[in-house]
Amino acid sequence: MLKRGVSKTAVVFLVLMVFFFASHVNLSLLSRSNVSVASSISKTRPGIVNKSREDRPARSPPHSLSEIKRAITCDCSHKDYDLWFINGPTLLDPITLTFFTTGPSNSIPPDFAVKFHPYPRKTDERAKSKVNELTLTSAPPKSSCEITHSSPAIVFSTGGYTGNFYHQFNDVLLALYITINSLSLNRDVILTVTNWSDWWVQKYADLLHHFTMHPILNMDNQTRTHCFPSAIIGLMTHGPLVVDPTLTQHKSLLAFHALLEKTYIPRGKHVSTFDKSKGARPQLVLVNRKNGVGREILNLKEALKAIEEVGFKAIVFEPKRNGAVGDTYRLLHGSHAMLAVHGAAMTHLLFLRVGTVLGEIVPIGTDWLANTFYEKPAKVLGLEYMKYKIGVNESSLAEKYGADDLVLNNPPSFVNGNWTKAKVYMKTQNVKLDMVRFRKYLKEVFAKAKRFMDKEG
């Protein structure tokens, strides 16, 4: 019985409002930044979303995510990535970059479509602008299967920031490792790549072989349709050079590190590039930035002289995009110390043996980045991380702004969340090492590297 003062009409109105609200909440995951949803597909061009709402027939309220989960689902709950699944047969039309569901789909709206950038930086518009947008749809394809695969597809992009060595690993290779192990896919998947780069595939061919037993599919040069039993679109990431073993069937960054060794060291044997004769010196590889975009060591010759004088054999390594990964891996893996100014080249820490000394020269304004991106993973890998934080007078910014300027004395206040201002530290700052301070630091690095050499060779 209704309480006095509350009419049946009011109760019905409240029930309808609750139902309307719930139906919209169910689709909230589809409105995230890396995804756009369309409710109709062009009748003349399959896979292209028709943005016009004119002449659209009347239809029932939007379908909930639970209604379409049999064929197309999304794990859209993460801040850095979305992961879409086609849980049944799918046809890829490479011309329109569209995946069509082709299995039973009684519970799917016939005009459901979603557009998606398959790159694990879903809120980064700059990165997404360099990634092809794919369409996933329940609309019927206009073509039949021309090439049929018996293994599922895992679809990702080598666009975005993958010209940068750090992003080659964190956004693609490590993300691929995490995704495959999290979903227990083993090697029975078809790596299906958009924004294909010949240099990238050739450079990492040996490593990619450990992710799949099948040829890698270049979406960008295909003209025929491909059919798969299912598809995963996108990659997972856990953070900067992070692998959470609780989410990856107990795989860790150390396991990825071991996979690199298995890939680039023949039969698992240690390969050394230093002289093992009596009186041999520890080998230090200085990874030099020489690209004209900041964070260069201005007194490099003096620094190398000091490195040699404290007892190291010094090797200067300047990374190249097309450089052979195996050669670089064996150089660093056989060394006892690596030293670099903060930047993407620090990602080479993945190539070092457990116990190797890793030195990072940290310019003004890059403390948090150095700690988050390199110090933390270095410690996970059992490296001897040693930071050299430059002083104000070692920064080229002191000449431009003055030693007492906010830029140098309080970088967080200067940046205040504005990435454009942070570029001052990343793009325009160079380093002139104080040789007295630097020599003291080098002596500590040498002592640890010498102990490592004596123990491990």
The answer to whether residue 23 sits within a structural domain is no
329: domain range? Answer: 283-456
Structure confidence at residue 7 (pLDDT): 54
The answer to whether residue 4 sits within a structural domain is no
The answer to whether residue 323 sits within a structural domain is yes
Co-location of 237 and 341 in the same domain: no
Ramachandran angles phi, psi of 316, nearest 5°: -95, 125
Structure confidence at residue 284 (pLDDT): 98
Co-location of 237 and 380 in the same domain: no
Tokens of 219: 């979406």
H-helix segments, 363-409: 367-370, 376-380, 397-401, 406-409
Structure confidence at residue 273 (pLDDT): 57
3-state secondary structure at position 405: coil
Structure confidence at residue 277 (pLDDT): 63
Co-location of 131 and 167 in the same domain: yes
Co-location of 235 and 300 in the same domain: no
The answer to whether residue 22 sits within a structural domain is no
CATH (domain of 363):
3.40.50
| pLDDT tens, N- to C-terminus, the chain (457 residues) | 444 444 555 544 444 444 444 444 343 444 444 555 543 333 333 333 333 333 333 333 333 444 445 789 999 999 999 999 999 999 999 999 999 999 875 555 667 899 999 999 999 999 999 999 999 999 999 899 999 999 999 999 999 999 999 999 999 999 999 999 999 988 999 999 999 999 999 999 999 999 999 999 999 999 999 999 999 999 999 999 999 999 999 999 999 999 999 999 976 555 555 566 667 899 999 999 887 788 999 999 999 999 999 999 999 999 998 899 999 999 999 999 999 999 999 999 999 999 999 999 999 999 999 999 999 999 999 999 999 999 999 999 999 999 999 999 999 999 998 988 999 999 999 999 999 999 999 999 999 999 999 999 9
Co-location of 206 and 239 in the same domain: yes
pTM value surpassing 0.75: yes
Co-location of 293 and 342 in the same domain: yes
Co-location of 310 and 406 in the same domain: yes
Structure confidence at residue 292 (pLDDT): 74
H-helix segments, 62-112: 65-68
Structure confidence at residue 419 (pLDDT): 83
Q: Give the closest residue to 99 by CA, choosing from 72, 60, 124, 122.
A: 72
Structure confidence at residue 109 (pLDDT): 67
Of the chain, the end-to-end C-alpha distance in Å amounts to 86
Co-location of 148 and 233 in the same domain: yes
Q: Give the closest residue to 339 by CA, choosing from 297, 401, 380, 396.
A: 297
Give the span between the Cα atoms of 354 and 310, in whole angstroms. Answer: 23
H-helix segments, 148-214: 165-167, 174-182, 198-203, 205-208
Domain boundary among 205, 232, 262: 262
Tokens of 301: 């010759």
Co-location of 377 and 427 in the same domain: yes
The answer to whether residue 24 sits within a structural domain is no
Ramachandran angles phi, psi of 21, nearest 5°: -65, -45
Left if phi > 0, otherwise alpha if psi is -120 to 50, otherwise beta: which for 292?
A: left
The answer to whether residue 10 sits within a structural domain is no
Co-location of 216 and 180 in the same domain: yes
Q: How many domains does the chain have?
A: 2
Instruction: Note whether 243 and 255 are within 8 A (CB).
Output: yes
The answer to whether residue 316 sits within a structural domain is yes
The answer to whether residue 20 sits within a structural domain is no
Co-location of 413 and 344 in the same domain: yes
Give the span between the Cα atoms of 226 and 232, in whole angstroms. Answer: 15
Co-location of 99 and 210 in the same domain: yes
Structure confidence at residue 105 (pLDDT): 57
Structure confidence at residue 291 (pLDDT): 72
Q: Give the closest residue to 361 by CA, choosing from 420, 446, 287, 411.
A: 287
